[in-house]
């Protein structure tokens, strides 16, 4: 039995963690996130006292060449530039980098990797804890997982645990997600699996839980009696450049709705969990997903809108239309904008629509959830102003300029009872002086190392989300959905999205 | 990177007009470049009795320290030997950090003679309502001091920095006996990464089982020419003693500076030595810990491990030697904490209740030394 460490208690700065070897499958493919995040963690002294980072790909690289490539990646993408920081810091980090060459479907190379990991751990007299990170193209996921199992690299042993991080996309529909999960669970138990949705690693997404459940003033009005509707938006000025091939297969629903938007929506709509623990929170999120009313058949045309951007102007620069991109077919029917009206059929949210939207090539980059409250039941003031009466809105800004805004009515100074809507702003940076918020990957990597799955998606979350979006995707594909509207880059998206709200006298919040 | 150009020009103002002047300053800032104070999280009341020509340095130091934490600072400078007087100044300041602008405001009282006892009501009237009050007493607090007594009654936390106590042998026992708000010691905050390192050290599985039976420790610290700077290392010992249930036996001054202390650990007597580091390179301030050597094992041959800070590399090296482990080296990036960071952390963190327990252990060591 492992003795408790009484010195852990009350520590503010670091979470004590065991030595670990982190294996990145596909380390050379996408260098923008994981290695820079790991370097930042190392530089801030947040990694364990002993760690190894092992890159595994098919390219014929040496350890030194791998380190050179990682240095360039870190220089470009890390919050801490190794060129600016002490060179010794990089050397200390680079000493822990190792490269193992191998194809993803070559079982013998997995055995070689296994030996290399055992040797690394033994050489440093550290337990053989392993964190596998699937950063390879999703088409290889099942092959890698299966080979890890066949090479005996998934079973937890006395001298070390085994965990695996899987990046989205978790399949491309319910069937493929189910198959991927079956493959995963045939090799790894669910406790060993950490499905990353980097949105959950963002400070402000986690703050949704704190705002809701650490304050007594919001929860009593967080229901259908007081809330008129909820809007959740993930919009960006960027296009699909650089990932056209993937994006044209995925589209906005698979890319954003099935994961990021549903993650935020479940945190907004969930019941209070019994504890701030992984399964307690994930149980409540799944209950929300189960309560969301599916949109089928003809309803898809009424409750959704879609669009695709054409050429336009963003920040004063001309940008091409989606179909003008190299890898995108001229007749592509992939939606780059989507808006969907969902209902959550439970006691708390009966009759309250949740409007979710996401789009590319919109004027600004914002992720925000806003709670729009009902109007007062009786207006005491000048009835001529009723039309101008703007309801209270509580907006949770997730990025950028993270914070919370409350809009309410106030009397204009002077005689009479002229009113204006004013906002009360809380901004993280202003209140806490955060120069650079921690990167989501940094937080999630640390959580995986200590085995905290709170901010990772569970199997049933993924599959329930697919159950909800599959019928929408099918209707869009089969021509039962709303028409594909073209919208000019730099505008707020298709008119159909505005009509989705206008039918009930509502409108999108200006972001 | 943060823009550290701060507007710190103090304006002399009549005491009765301080609030109006602050309002006016914010309004003029807003007209000038939209520097509107959008948040305030605390009141920080700072007391000092340094010589008057040092006050400007202290103002600048406090503004730098607090510029990342928006709040109202009230600095009281007392000169007991001067003629009776009270003068007030105000300033507002903003710091740009990426897209976020953090603003603060400061009121400075320069108090002479006996009026130090009378200033408390003015200070209390200027506290921002409904926000916690942190009282930073830059000298060792005296419980009989009227100003200390009245201001500490308003405070949610009392902040000191024991690194600057002139006579630790007497100051620590007095601090442990002080009837005051929850106590915060910036020296304890500076110790945080070392507490993390020691806790992390015991996460190594093959060492964990030996945690209850430490055979001995040697902590080396950076000393100044007078060989002082040992108290932070003693706080580290006090923390371990409290967490691990060590029973203090006795202590003696070491001839080379520092102390030798004896503790009852798991039924055996063990020595914990706190000694100045010899020939340490780098420009670390006195008090910073240089290395920790830990000896463990049920019976000989014991295992000796060493945690050492290498300033040139910002590196904490952990070397394990002999049974029960084979020789091995580990390490990670390590950044010492200075007073600025310790205070910034304190202004946003929950109270660390481990400090008073560690302090009691250190007080016991000093009381033993005082008796001998």
Give the closest-approach CA distance of B24 to chain A in angstroms: 19
Q: Do A435 and B195 touch (CB under 8 A)?
A: no
Q: What are phi and psi of A87, to 5 degrees?
A: -55, -35
Active site residues of A: 260
A residues 39-98 lying closer than 8 A (beta carbon) to B: 42-45, 47-50, 86, 88-89, 92-93
Helix and strand tally (H, E) in chain B? 11, 17
The B residues from 180 to 199 touching A (CB cutoff 8 Å) are: 192-193, 195-196, 198-199
Cα A224 to Cα A233: distance, rounded to the nearest angstrom: 20
Report which of residues A498 and B97 the model is more confident about.
Answer: A498
Using CB atoms, pick whichever of B2, B38, B198 lies closest to residue A427: B38
Whole-number Å distance between alpha carbons of B306 and B329: 10
Q: What is the C-alpha to C-alpha distance for residues A487 and A311, in angstroms, rounded to an integer?
A: 9
According to the model, what pLDDT value does residue A174 have? 96
CB contact under 8 A, B98 and A429: yes
pLDDT band of B97, cuts 50, 70, 90: low
- Residues linked to residue B272 through DSSP beta bridges, in sequence order: B217, B261
Please state, in angstroms and rounded to a whole number, the distance separating the CA atoms of residues B29 and B93: 9
Answer with the residue of higher pLDDT: B53 or A213.
A213
Please compute the mean of the pLDDT values over residues B59-76 and round it to a whole number: 83
Question: What's the pLDDT score for residue B161?
Answer: 93
**How confident is the model at residue A226, as a pLDDT?**
97
Q: Is the Cβ of B41 closer than 8 Å to some Cβ of chain A?
A: yes
In B, minimum Cα distance to A44 occurs at B333
Residues of chain B numbered 220-279 and touching chain A (CB < 8 Å): 240, 243-244
Q: Is A214 on the interface with B (CB under 8 A)?
A: no
> Which ipTM was obtained for this model?
0.80
Q: How far apart are CA B170 and CA B167, in angstroms?
A: 6
- Residues 64-123, chain B, touching A (beta carbon < 8 A): 67-70, 95, 97-103
Q: Could A45 and B240 be called an inter-chain contact, meaning their C-beta atoms sit closer than 8 Å?
A: no
Q: What is the pLDDT of residue B4?
A: 33
Residue A391 CB neighbours (<10 A)? 17
The residue assigned the tokens 């945080």 is: B192
pLDDT of residue B6: 38
Contacts of B250 (CB under 8 A, 6+ apart): B261, B262, B368, B372
User: pLDDT value at position B99?
Assistant: 59
Please give the Cα distance from A107 to A98 (Å, whole number).
Answer: 19
pLDDT for B306 equals 85
Strand bridging mode B85-97 / B2-3: antiparallel
Element (H, E) at A498: helix A495-502
Contact B102 A48 (CB under 8 A): no
pLDDT value, residue A436: 60
Among partner residues B39, B41, B209, which is closest to A3 by beta-carbon distance? B209
Confidence band of B323 (pLDDT split at 50, 70, 90):
very low
Closest Cα in chain A to B237: A7
Task: Specify which residues B273 forms β-bridges with.
Answer: B218, B260
Looking from the CA of B251 toward its CB, the CA atoms found within 13 Å total: 26
pLDDT given for residue A507 in this prediction: 93
Substitution target from A432, A438, A450, A451 for chain B, most B beta carbons within 10 A: A432
Q: Are B113 and B82 within 8 A, CB to CB?
A: yes
Tens digit of each residue's pLDDT (9 = 90 or more) over B124-180? 888 888 888 999 999 889 888 889 999 999 999 999 999 988 899 999 999 999 988
The alpha carbon of residue A13 and the mean position of all alpha carbons in its chain are separated, in whole angstroms, by 25
CA distance B74 to A178: 61
- Torsion over CA: A465, A466, A467, A472 (sign): positive
> In the predicted model, is pLDDT for residue B7 greater than 50?
no
Q: Which residues of chain A have pLDDT under 50?
A: 1-2
């Amino acid at each position: 039995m492992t003795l408790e460490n009484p010195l852990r208690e009350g520590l503010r700065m670091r979470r004590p963690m065991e030595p670990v070897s982190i294996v990145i499958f596909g380390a050379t493919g996408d260098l923008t996130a994981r290695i820079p995040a790991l370097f930042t963690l190392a530089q801030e002294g947040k990694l364990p006292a002993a760690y190894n980072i092992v890159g595994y790909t098919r390219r014929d690289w040496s350890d030194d060449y791998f380190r050179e490539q990682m240095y360039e990646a870190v220089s470009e993408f890390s919050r801490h530039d190794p060129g600016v920081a002490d060179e010794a810091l990089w050397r200390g980090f680079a000493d822990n980098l190792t490269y193992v060459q191998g194809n993803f479907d070559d079982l013998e190379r997995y055995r070689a990797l296994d030996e290399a990991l055992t040797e690394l751990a033994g050489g440093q007299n550290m337990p053989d804890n392993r964190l596998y990170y699937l950063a390879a193209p999703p088409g290889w996921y099942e092959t890698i997982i299966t080979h890890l199992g066949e090479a005996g690299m998934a079973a937890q042993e006395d001298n070390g645990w085994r965990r695996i991080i899987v990046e989205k996309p978790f399949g491309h529909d319910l069937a493929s997600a189910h198959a991927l999960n079956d493959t995963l669970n045939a090799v790894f138990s669910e406790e060993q699996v950490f499905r990353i949705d980097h949105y959950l690693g963002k400070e402000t997404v986690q703050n949704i839980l704190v705002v809701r459940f650490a304050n007594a003033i919001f929860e009593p009005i967080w229901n259908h009696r007081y809330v008129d509707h909820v809007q959740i938006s993930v919009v960006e000025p960027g296009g699909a450049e650089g990932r056209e091939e993937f994006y044209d297969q995925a589209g906005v629903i698979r890319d954003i709705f099935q994961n990021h938007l549903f993650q935020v929506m479940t945190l907004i709509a969930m019941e209070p969990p019994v504890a701030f623990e992984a399964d307690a929170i994930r149980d409540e999120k799944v209950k929300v997903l189960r309560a969301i009313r599916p949109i089928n058949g003809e309803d898809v045309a009424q409750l959704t809108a879609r669009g695709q951007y054409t050429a336009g102007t963003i920040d004063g620069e001309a940008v091409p239309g989606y179909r003008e991109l190299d890898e995108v077919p001229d007749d592509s029917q992939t939606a780059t904008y989507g808006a969907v009206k969902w209902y959550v059929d439970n006691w708390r949210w009966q009759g309250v629509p949740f409007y979710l939207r996401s789009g590319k090539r919109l004027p600004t980059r914002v992720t925000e959830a806003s709670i729009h409250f009902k109007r007062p039941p009786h207006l005491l003031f000048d009835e001529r102003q009723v039309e101008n009466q703007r309801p209270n809105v509580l907006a949770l800004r997730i990025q950028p300029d993270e914070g919370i805004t409350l809009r309410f009515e106030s009397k204009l100074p002077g005689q009479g009872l002229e009113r204006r809507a004013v906002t009360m702003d809380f901004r993280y940076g202003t209140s806490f002086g955060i120069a650079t918020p921690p990167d989501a990957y940094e937080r999630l990597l640390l959580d995986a190392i200590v085995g905290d799955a709170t901010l990772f998606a569970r199997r049933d979350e993924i599959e329930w989300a697919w159950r909800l979006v599959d019928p929408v995707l099918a209707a869009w594909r089969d021509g039962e959905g709303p028409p594909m509207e073209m919208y000019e880059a730099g505008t707020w998206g298709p008119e159909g999205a505005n009509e989705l709200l206008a039918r009930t006298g509502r409108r999108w919040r200006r972001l | 990177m943060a823009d550290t150009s701060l507007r710190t020009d103090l304006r002399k103002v009549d005491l009765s007009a301080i609030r109006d002047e602050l309002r006016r300053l914010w309004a003029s800032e807003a007209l000038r470049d939209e520097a509107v104070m959008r948040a305030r999280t605390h009141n920080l009341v700072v007391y000092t009795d340094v010589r008057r020509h040092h006050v400007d340095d202290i103002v600048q130091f406090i503004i730098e320290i607090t510029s990342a934490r928006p709040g109202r600072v009230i600095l009281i400078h007392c000169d007991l030997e001067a003629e009776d007087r009270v003068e007030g100044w105000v300033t507002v300041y903003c710091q740009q950090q990426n897209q976020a602008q953090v603003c603060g405001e400061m009121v400075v009282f320069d108090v002479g003679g006996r009026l130090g006892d009378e200033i408390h009501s003015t200070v209390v009237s200027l506290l921002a309502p409904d926000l916690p009050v942190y009282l930073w007493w830059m000298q060792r607090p005296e419980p009989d001091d009227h100003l200390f007594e009245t201001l500490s009654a308003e405070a949610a936390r009392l902040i000191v920095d024991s690194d600057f106590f002139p006579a630790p042998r007497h100051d620590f026992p007095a601090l442990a006996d002080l009837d005051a708000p929850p106590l915060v010691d910036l020296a304890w905050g500076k110790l945080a990464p070392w507490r993390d390192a020691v806790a992390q050290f015991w996460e190594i599985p093959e060492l964990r089982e030996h945690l209850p039976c430490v055979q001995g420790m040697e902590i080396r610290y950076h000393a100044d020419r007078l060989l002082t700077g040992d108290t932070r290392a003693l706080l580290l010992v006090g923390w371990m003693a409290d967490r691990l249930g060590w029973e203090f036996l006795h202590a003696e001054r070491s001839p080379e500076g520092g102390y030798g202390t004896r503790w009852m650990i798991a039924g055996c007597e063990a020595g914990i030595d706190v000694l100045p580091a010899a020939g340490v390179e780098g420009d670390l301030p006195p008090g910073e810990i240089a290395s920790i050597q830990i000896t463990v094992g049920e019976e000989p041959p014991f295992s000796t491990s060493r945690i050492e800070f290498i300033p040139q590399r910002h590196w904490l090296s952990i070397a394990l030697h002999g049974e029960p482990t084979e020789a091995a080296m580990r390490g990670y990036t390590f950044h010492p904490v200075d007073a600025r960071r310790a205070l910034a952390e304190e202004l946003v963190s929950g109270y660390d209740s481990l400090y008073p327990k560690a302090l009691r252990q250190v007080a016991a060591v000093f009381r033993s030394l005082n008796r001998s």
